[in-house]
Structure 1
Amino acid sequence: MSRIRGIEVKVQKEVLQTRKYGLNEILKKKNEDQSTNSKDDAEKHQIKELLQKLPRLDKIFDVHRKIGEGTFSSVYLGSLRQHASLPETEKRWFAIKHLVPTAHPARIEHELRCLQDMGGKDHVIGVELCLRNLDTIVFIMPYIPHKKFSEYVGEMDAEELRQYMRALLIALRHVHSFGVIHRDVKPSNFLYDRENRRYLLVDFGLAQRLCPAPEEPPAERAPPPAHSNGVRKRTREEEELASGAKRMALDLSTGRPVASPATPAVVASPRRVSAVMREPAAGGASPPAAHGAGARPRCACAGAAAVCAACSARPAPRAPRAGTQGFRPPEVLLKYPQQTTAVDVWASGVVLASALTARYPFFRAGDDVAALAELADLLGTQPLQQAAESLGRRVVTSSVRRGLCLRKLAARLRGTTSISTGSRGSACMRCRLPQEQCLCRDETKKADEFVEGRWVAGFPDSAFALAASLLDPNPRSRVSAAAALLHPFLASPSAPAPPAAPAPHTAPL
């Protein structure tokens, strides 16, 4: 009898829980617990396997848990074994980066050289130790506690954003002074300790040498070749082209690229965008359109949203493709081969735009053509086409976009009152929307101009002007990291406090 009563009590308890929390929530919690347990078991197995392959690591460090994972590496949190008896707050913590065994030795050597030469100052991470056993290689680097960018991007005020962007550009200025492009600048690679205001630029796995450093001997100026013979093998970039993974930053091929026909790409949206890739002519100008001696005849697809047979038969252009989708500048999307440190400057502009609008990720396109369509929406089709023309490329769209005002966009997304360009209640002549909802750019003024003392969405107007300079679609006119640090938004020792009661609809954007 007592057994039956116990079963009844258990059934009643489950019924009450189901009524209180809902059956779906209970099942969801169980699935989450099972998923967490399986994930923890997998991480423990990976740590155990790593320590077995690299016994020296087990003798020096206690490896606690995995704190990050990428295409070419996994990162673990570790501490010294000799400090095992110390409290957690007194231990010295390290980030243990385990590179995948399939990574090319030249790429690993290049990353290690970057950490040794540039790391340890100006918010750039250094390397404490490197351990290797056969194909198992780990980098031991400093660790700082940090949170995900998405957790605090909407909480940053003007002063915190100023310090954050200043630290990021200082790190980029230091890296660029060595003639190196980081190529993967994004919030997850710029660690931020909010409590102690510490910053670290990490992950040089995709870094690329722009030019030889003056102090390097001649034998070390160029990245080491991938193959010792003259036979060309398939590069990692070509192998991962279909999977959409990160591309290698080092050009490890020695032969001529294999010609492959370029196919027209069309984005599934109300507008069509196609990029016609051409080999740049002398001086970066577009290929000559007129017939004559030495002139290339005008193709049949000029001015059309398609690619003709003559253009399809040309060899596909080869250019560095490393980086993360959403942070690639126009020159990368258009496969321009002579890329510079302006690639990193554009990525820092995307980070700034995310912080101003409190939206991360800021760009969400899944492929390069869709990414060009997003840039056309934000910047306008004309600036994008002019930048492409200066690079010897052509961008054809089925509709004309005037571009959006980043100030109005930030005010809309943050839920603050936007500053209107006209009388309240009137409609915009271009988008036909009320002035309170209009996001059109004011074409009578440059986006990189600002009004001293004006605030938009809780940020000074100079912050939006800096974002416009960083997001210049033309890499040749895009501001450098060193020049950006002289911008009024970053040069001042501290950003002034916003006005207590800003008066809306009084100053034009």
Structure 2
Amino acid sequence: MAKARAALRNAEQLVVHHDYTKEDEAEETLDESGDPLEESGRTIDSSDEEIEESVAEDIARFEESFVGITKRYRLINRIGEGTFSTVYKAEDLEYNNYNNRWDTDERENRKWTSPGHRKRSVKRPHYVAIKKIYVTSSPMRIYNELELLYDLKNSDSVCPLITAFRHLDQVVAVLPYFQHRDFRDYYRDMKVPEMRLYFRSLFTALRSVHSKKILHRDIKPTNFLYNPEQARGVLVDFGLAEREGTDWHQCACTLSSEERRYRISHSIHAQTQQSGHQPACYPKNDTRSSRRANRAGTRGFRAPEVLLKCTQQNTSIDMWSAGVILLTILSRRFPFFHSADDIDALLEITTIFGRKKMKEISLLHGQVFETNIPSYSDNGHSLEKIILWCTGRTKTETGIKPELEEDEKEAVQFLYRLMECDPDKRITAEEALRHPFITRAFEDDEADDDMLDLVRG
């Protein structure tokens, strides 16, 4: 109760953003996902691919430490390595002993195979992904991930949990193996019609996740395994996910505008301001405790409210991260944001949206944003201008002002809905799937089908 009363007291006044403490740094390390440039992001369609000697030794150690795993699975290669786990490709040796409703590839194969050929077909290997969760992860974190995966079974475009095993202090989760390509191999070449398909698949997954009031918290290209040839992707890695409402404390963003204005006018920050022309002043001995909030995720993909330590974060944080992916594709730059910490991350966003917007959003969450860096303008820059600059489309010698293509303009308008700094105004996954930018993907599919029928005719 004492903690609850303290939280309520802190909610009654604006909290000035403090420098990190050692405790903050420890929390950051715990919840920081791997750098997107360092993670593996592709699979190989081969059962006998060559593997590095160090990987073979790693697999041998794993097989030796986890008694009995070799009876059920033949480990083939290491296909992913992150902060909290390592993922291996393996052949399921007991596949035919179980009902495998999770196997979408098998269902597709059977759909297009004649009954006669199906009976004559030889037994083929079936692959799974084995996720070895590091013992440094807390038991509650592991339990939470497995429970959420179980709850999300049968969800569209979400990686289902097949089963899980524990041996001593080691836990492994068995998941479907999905063919996909490294995001870095194709994102620079994606045309707008291909972007529509990519995000239709991603938002289908997020709609399923968000409908169950679950925040993924780590949306980024390496956690969305996409196969451009099939225009199909699957959302993975729920190691940082949580249910909406977990450990919530009241944040100023949930107050009415009148109540928020009253608290701003009676805050410590307002009281210490000498005049509107003076620089910001702060208490010399501030006795208030620093704000604690979940800051899990990956640098460069965190929403403004996460950086500002909003204590009532919701599913809209995933939509901002999806917007960063779209900005990455349109600008042909990966990663687009590459900050060292939350302060730098806020300043990177300020470069785009301007000081005025960041001050408004900070006050929305009961924080104060001040910067004296002269290069940051009040209004920032338009996303159109940034994309043109990033893709090298500047003024020509003739003085003609460059412009985006028409379909790019439509993508940018959609991007503004995703990268809306106010989470209440940000588009939802359900709304995104009804947005013209996404629905046009269905029109493109129908046009392709008509052309195919014409060719066959």
TM-score of the two chains, using structure 2 as the length reference:
0.72
Q: Are the structure 2 counterparts of residues 334 and 208 from structure 1 closer, same or farther at C-alpha, using a change threshold of 3 Å?
A: same
Distance 2:327 2:405 in 1: 12
What letter corresponds to residue 52 of structure 1 in structure 2? E
Summarize the Cα distance change of 1:493–1:164 in structure 2 as closer, same or farther, 3 Å threshold: closer
SS in 2 for 1:323: coil
From 325, 346, 350, give the equivalent of 2:320: 346
Aligned partner of 1:393 in structure 2 is 367
C-alpha separation in 2, matches of 1:316 and 1:88: 63
Local SS of the residue matching 1:123: coil
One-letter amino acid of the structure 2 residue matched with residue 345 of structure 1:
M
- 2:260 alignment partner, one of 282, 285, 309: 285
| AA in 2 matched with 1:55 | V
The aligned counterpart of 2:14 is none
**Residue-by-residue CA offset, 1:131-166 (whole Å, 9 max, x unaligned):** 111111111101112222111111111111001011
Question: Cα distance 1:296–1:395, how it changes in 2: closer, same or farther (>3 A)?
Answer: closer
Aligned to 2:68: 56
Q: In the alignment, which residue of structure 2 is the partner of 1:298?
A: 270
Q: How do 1:429-468 and structure 2 match up within 5 A?
A: 456-457=404-405, 459-468=407-416
Q: CA deviation at 1:494?
A: 4.2
Two-structure CA RMSD over aligned residues (Å): 3.2
TM-score, normalised with respect to structure 1? 0.65
Bigger RCO (CA 8 Å, 6+ sep):
2
1:46 to 42, 58, 63: 58
1:19-44: per-residue Cα shift (whole Å, max 9, x none)? xxxxxxxxxxxxxxxxxxxx933322
Q: Which has the higher helix share?
A: 2
Q: Note if 1:99 corresponds to 2:133.
A: yes
CA deviations 1:385-432 (Å, max 9, x no partner) are 2111111112112243422222233233334477x9xx9639xxxxxx
Extract unaligned runs of 5+ from structure 2: 1-50, 96-120, 446-457
- Which of residues 318, 321, 326 is equivalent to 2:300? 326
- Equivalent residue, structure 2, for 1:363: 337
Q: What secondary structure does 2:137 align onto?
A: coil
Seen in structure 2, the aligned counterparts of structure 1 residues 78 and 405 have a Cα distance that, compared at 3 Å, is same
Q: Which runs of 4+ in 1 moved over 6 A?
A: 278-281, 301-307
Describe the shift of the 1:469–1:374 C-alpha distance in structure 2 as closer, same or farther (beyond 3 A): same
Residue of structure 2 in register with 1:152 after alignment: 186
Within 5 Å, which residues of 2 pair with 1:168-207?
Answer: 168-207=202-241
Cα distance in 2 for residues equivalent to 1:148 and 1:367? 26
Instruction: Say whether residues 1:413 and 2:390 are aligned partners.
Output: yes
**Within 1, Cα distance between the matches of 2:342 and 2:123?**
45
Matched to 1:66, the amino acid is R
Report the counterpart of residue 6 of structure 1 in structure 2: none
Quote the offset at 1:358 in angstroms: 1.1
8 Å contact kept, 1:299–1:311 = no
Give the number of aligned pairs: 363
Question: Structure 1 vs Structure 2: percent identity of aligned residues?
Answer: 33
Q: Describe the shift of the 1:282–1:401 C-alpha distance in structure 2 as closer, same or farther (beyond 3 A).
A: closer
Matching residue of 2:381: 404
- Answering whether residue 428 of structure 2 is matched by residue 480 of structure 1, we say yes
Q: Retained in 2: the 8 A contact 1:190–1:201?
A: yes
CA contact (8 A) 1:489 1:495 kept: no
Deviation at 1:114, TM superposition (A): 1.1
Change over 3 Å in CA distance of 1:374–1:92 after alignment to 2: same
Query: Which amino acid is 1:320 matched to?
Result: N
Name the larger-Rg structure. 1
CA gap 1:90/1:335 in 2 versus in 1, 3 angstroms: same
CA 1:402–1:290 in 2, change beyond 3 Å: closer, same or farther? closer
